[in-house]
Amino acid sequence: MNASVPMNDAILQVEHLSMKFGGLVAIGDLSFTAKRGEITALIGPNGAGKTTVFNCITGFYKPSEGMITLNRSNGSRFLLERLPNHEIPARAKVARTFQNIRLFSGMTLLENLLVAQHNKLMKASGYTILGLFGFSGYRKASAESVELAKHWLEKADLVDRADDPAGDLPYGAQRRLEIARAMCTGPELLCLDEPAAGLNPKESAALNTLLIDIKETSGASILLIEHDMSVVMQISDHVVVLEYGRKISDGSPQSVRTDPRVIAAYLGVDDEEVETVLTEVGDEDVIEQLDIGPDSAHGPGASSSFMAGPVSDTVGHSTGERITVAKGASKAEQVDAKSSTAPRKPSERATAKPKTPTAKPRGGSK
């Protein structure tokens, strides 16, 4: 085991992680560390592979290569790529939310939070048998679970709507509920996939408060995918930047935001500053690209019928959602290319990616 980081300092260590879908390398040789008690942000343009990293960490995908180690505060350590899907939240205490919100929309808010405490309640109810006969131990545990649910409803500012169906909530509240539900599993690592996508500034501010509160009071570390730079810069302690499945930068928010590779790839710092970089790079398309905000189309998938498709279709992407990939290929590579002034060949990744719009050929810009 790579012990370069002391064990109780790092909660999550991702080492040489690769994930290939057929010919497409969604993540290539990614290594990073998330420290305990910190908010680590994972950023990058659309299609960079952030959600795929989450799906590998939470066991929805089995990575092609690499090792994901989780160190719990009690000293136990789990190799997440080897655990079955449902044991990752249950034993390794990793909880997650989804980019396209996945609530139990026909159940009330309270029920959503009670389902999250399933394993605990299952034990308390003697795997249903004792509970069926109304044993007092179960009744106590179920009262406690309602208390915990209420606690998180209060934190998420949703307690007034506890008895309404989750599908009836406005978008921002659904996001907060999903976070509250994840917290009800009692996680040590909370993975949030674009929690601020589609939120208005007020909801976004409420989310920031909630996340800071979680970090400070519950002791959970947070791994965050975010497009909203105000959120990332304000609350994260550590930023990892992905582009086309590769890490292009890693460090404090300050250092990341001044990294020219990151600026070119993704970040909006100052419009003029970006433009200088862009004119250096010589790609006008990037300017268009930066105007594209986070896509707001990540609503919960429409009600599906018995005839709906297999699970893998719906992991990570709501039906019909297509990942749009940046028009040019890797901007970071363009910066590199510029500095080495060598004409770039289209990378094999760009050709392997069928969804890359090739409307405007990059044509070896420099």
* Residues of this chain that bind Mg ion (CB under 5 A): 51, 99
List 94's β-bridge partners, or say none.
189
Q: Considering beta carbons, is residue 60 or 138 the nearer one to ligand ADP?
A: 60
* Segment lying near ligand ADP (by CB under 6 A), choices 19-27, 29-37, 64-72, 267-275: 19-27
Residue 252 exposed, middle or buried by CB count within 10 Å (0-12, 13-18, 19+): exposed
Draw the binding track, 105-134, toward other proteins (x: CB under 8 A; -: no contact).
xxxx-xx--xxxxxx-xx--x--x--xx--
Under the criterion CB under 6 A, does residue 323 sit at the interface with ligand ADP?
yes
Residues 225 and 32: beta-carbon distance below 8 Å: no
Question: By CB under 8 A, what part of segment 176-195 binds other proteins?
Answer: 181-182, 185
- Say how many residues touch other proteins, by CB under 8 A: 57
| 316, 55 contact by CB (below 8 A) | yes
Other beta carbons within 10 angstroms of residue 271's beta carbon come to: 10
Least gap, CB of 47 to ligand ADP (angstroms): 4
Q: How remote is the C-alpha of 291 from its chain's centroid? A: 22
Q: Which of 30, 33, 50, 131 binds ligand ADP (CB under 6 A)?
A: 50
**Cβ 329 vs Cβ 358: under 8 Å:** no
According to DSSP, the β-strands at 246-251 and 24-35 are unpaired
Under the criterion CB under 6 A, does residue 28 sit at the interface with ligand ADP? no
Q: Does 316 bind ligand ADP (CB under 6 A)?
A: yes
- We find the least distance from the C-beta atom of residue 334 to ligand ADP, in angstroms, to be 19
Q: Pick from 13, 40, 51, 58: which binds other proteins (CB under 8 A)?
A: 58
The encoded tokens of residue 195 equal 């929690």
Residue owning tokens 């057929």: 22
- Contact status: 66 vs other proteins (CB under 8 A): no
Any residues with CB less than 8 A from the CB of 12 and at least 6 apart, and which?
33, 34, 40, 57, 68, 69, 70, 71, 189, 221, 223
- The CA-atom distances, in angstroms, between 42 and each of 13, 19, 148 are 14, 16, 29
Asked whether position 18 contacts ligand ADP by CB under 6 A, the answer is no
213 binds other proteins (CB under 8 A): no
Determine the residue with CB nearest Mg ion: 51
Amino acid, res. 342: A
Pair 116, 185: CB distance under 8 Å: yes
Q: Is 135 in the site for other proteins (CB under 8 A)?
A: no
| Residue of the chain from 146, 233, 290, 352 that contacts other proteins (CB under 8 A) | 146
Name the 3-class secondary structure at 347.
coil
Would you tell me which residues interact with ligand ADP (CB under 6 A)? 21, 24, 26, 44, 46-52, 312, 316, 323, 353, 355
Would you tell me which residues interact with other proteins (CB under 8 A)? 58, 60, 85-90, 95-96, 98, 102-108, 110-111, 114-119, 121-122, 125, 128, 131-132, 146, 150, 153, 159, 162-168, 181-182, 185, 303-311, 314-315
